[in-house]
A and B are shown apart, each in its own frame.
Chain A
Amino acid sequence: MFGLANPTKFMRFSTLLLPYLVIITLGSLGFGLYTVFNAPEDVLQGPLSRILYVHAPSAYLAQAIYVFMALANFTGFIWRHPLADMAAKNAAPIGAVFALLTLITGMLWGKPAWGTWWVWDARLTTVLILFIMYLGYIAIWQVIEDQVKAARVATIVAAVGLINIPIIKFSVEWWNTLHQPASITTSGSAIHPTMLTALLIMFAAFTFLFVTLLFISVRTEITRRRARALEMRILQKNIAKTNSALKNSEAQ
């Protein structure tokens, strides 16, 4: 992990890895969708229950990415690992999109299943709050121009968020509960095996999707920074040239 702190090494490593990642992601997504449409429908909800295969993996990723982001920030904060900060920065928009996807699929599911687009239920509210926290985190990176300073402030925001998410989750649950409790627990699963297989494949596919997207956006960020550095160098050269030309003309 620490070898990859060097952007050049990371670029070389990711150039090799990225094609395989893309293939694995597309393959597992395709296979996942195939199993989803072959999995039996829910007795009560019919084809509606297929929303689950997008809804649940997005919800899992929305939460997992926040933890990943905070851990990446810690790594950057403690070991001054520049790539970790970039990973955290670029994971946030992806996480926000997954949180939004969870909300939208949940609302689409809620209208026919519960008869309303939105209820102030504990889980819905928690994801909504998570989405807002993502927005706040992204905003920090946007408004602070100095990236080193932005990384430090972002770490604090992520850390405070990470401590508070369980508290928020607990208090919102105390406040109101309507959503069904988690169906998959460590002691077993309440979902039928055929549906569970499809669901697990979708979980894996979404995780690969996140890793691929993260790699691509970190690579873009590195390229962008290099382009800016080059631009600055050219500018400096031009300024130096004009300065020396001015001096020469003054001397004459």
Chain B
Amino acid sequence: MKPLLALLRRDINLFFRSGGGAGQAIGFYLVVIILFPFGVGPDINLLARISIGVLWVVLLLAILLSAERIFSDDLEDGSLTLLLTAGPLPELVILVKLIAHWVSIALPLLLITPFLALMLNLPAGGLIPLIICMSIGSLGLCALATIGAAILVAIRRANQIIALLILPLYIPILIFGVSATTDMTYQIEKPYTSLLILLGITLISLIIAPFASAQALKANL
């Protein structure tokens, strides 16, 4: 447990200190959200209607695009091989790196979400459900992105392929993330069904991701 905690602290520190990590994702999130009103027009009611979906889609893309960093830095300086061969199970190492990625990429995005939600005129009472659903869903998104990042280690020269491979897997999280947020915002009958399914999909992703990523990395060592 102790080496894993040390790894978690190291990864989070590296993410924040090496510059560009969280900043890039936040910048992307901010700019793309701002682009939407220019695309669909400034109508406040229309923006309110699409706000939940737009926030989710852009969050998903921001997480996907920053996924490459999960392994790339460690691969370059050779520490990835050491981490995977020495010490704890590779699957646990990957799980820790995944959580570190969530803390350093998804959490900052969640922190600026309230401001962007205000700008998109999110329906009243929608903010808390949005943050709850996004914090659960983003963990699943990070998990699936980890698989893509691990496969990318084997490919390197074809970054775009990660979108082709991982975006189809994101669809369930997107669907239930949006529907859980909407259900809770509008207080329909049984508002937590979608939330529970979202939680389930996130947990499944968290189980699959370390094993699949470990195999993908092993193929490359």
- Contact surface of A with B, Cβ cutoff 8 Å: 129, 132-133, 135-136, 139-140, 143-144, 149, 152-153, 155-157, 159-161, 163-164, 167-168, 170-172, 174-175
Contacts and interface: CB of A to CB of B under 8 A. Distances in A.
Given A160-B208, A168-B172, A153 B201 contact: no
B157 interface: yes
Interface string B143-156: 00001000100110
A161 B219 CA distance: 18
A136 B168 contact: yes
17 contacts: A132-B168, A136-B161, A136-B168, A143-B158, A144-B155, A149-B219, A152-B216, A153-B151, A153-B154, A156-B215, A157-B151, A159-B212, A160-B208, A167-B172, A167-B201, A171-B172, A174-B176
Given A132-B164, A140-B151, A174 B158 contact: no
Interface in B170-221: 171-172, 175-176, 179, 197, 201, 204, 208, 212, 215-216, 218-220
Interface residues of B, number: 27
Contact of B155 (A132, A143, A156): A143
Contact of B171 (A149, A153, A171): A171
Given A129-B168, A153-B216, 13 more contacts: A132-B164, A132-B168, A133-B168, A136-B164, A140-B165, A149-B219, A152-B218, A156-B216, A159-B212, A161-B168, A167-B201, A171-B176, A174-B175
B52 to A, nearest CB: 14
Contacts of B218: 152
B151, B212, B219, most chain A CB atoms within 10 A: B219
Given A129-B171, A160-B208, A160-B212, A153 B164 contact: no
B18 to A, nearest CB: 27
Contacts, number: 79
Contacts of B34: none
A168 B220 CA distance: 29
Interface SS of chain B: helix, strand, loop or mixed? helix
B169 interface: yes
B147 A156 contact: yes
A133, A156, A168, A171, most chain B CB atoms within 10 A: A156
Nearest to B178: A175
In the A-B complex, list the 4 residue pairs whose CB atoms are closest, starting with the nearest: A152-B219, A171-B172, A136-B164, A136-B165
A156 B111 CA distance: 34
A152 B215 contact: yes
Nearest to B193: A174
Contacts of B208: 160, 163
Contacts of B155: 140, 143-144, 153
Contacts of B158: 139, 143
Contacts of A156: 147, 151, 212, 215-216, 219
A25 to B, nearest CB: 31
Nearest to A164: B169
Nearest to B161: A139
A161 to B, nearest CB: 8
Contacts of A159: 212
Contact of B175 (A144, A149, A155, A175): A175
A160 B219 contact: no
Nearest to A148: B219
B134 to A, nearest CB: 17
B147, B164, B165, B208, most chain A CB atoms within 10 A: B165
